[in-house]
Amino acid sequence: MPKNEIPIVPYLHLPDAVDGEAYLIGAKCRRCGEVYLGERAVCIKCFTAGNLDAVKLSRKGEIFTFTVVYQSAPWVKVPYVAVVVKLSDGPIVRASLTGCDIDATSLRAGMPVEMVTEKVREDQAGNDVIAYKFRLLGK
């Protein structure tokens, strides 16, 4: 029996029969156009309520800031690079950087990144839990 894949957060869309691409789900204000990560009831830019549409967020963005994490919970492999990414369509996303050596001296704000998905663990039912991370473009 094939394993199911479960997104780690409700705003991560995993590939399915309708859309074969993984992406983050956002909310866009119909009045002012502001875009947010995840679901929103109220736009905090123009204070309009109930006027936001679910949108597919860009998989690309740039590093806004980052840090190297050397200590974490016992089950988290360290060190890793924690990044704050500004997506090309606006929202700011916190995630891990993957697919690169832990060399913070080579990282800079403004470097282009792309969202990828990775299995991070299995749940108790044996499903793969899938998280989103970012990788440097051109690496």
30 lies in the binding site for Zn ion (CB under 5 A): no
Q: How far is the CB of 60 from Zn ion (least distance, A)?
A: 24
CB neighbourhood size of 51 (10 A) = 16
Query: Minimum distance between the CB of residue 89 and Zn ion, rounded to whole angstroms?
Result: 15
* For Zn ion, the closer CB: 7 or 90: 90
On the CB side of 99, CA atoms within 13 Å amount to 14
Reported in sequence order, the residue ranges of 30-126 that DSSP labels E, i.e. its strands, are: 35-37, 52-56, 60-69, 80-87, 92-97, 112-122
Looking at 15, 39, 46, 76, which residue binds Zn ion (CB under 5 A)? Answer: 46
Across the strands, what pairs with 68? 81
Q: C-beta of 23: minimal distance to Zn ion in Å?
A: 22
Cβ-contact 133, 116 below 8 angstroms: yes
Judged by CB under 5 A, which stretch of 18-26, 29-37, 89-97, 99-107 contacts Zn ion?
29-37
List interacting residues with Zn ion (CB under 5 A). Answer: 29, 31-32, 34, 43, 45-46, 48
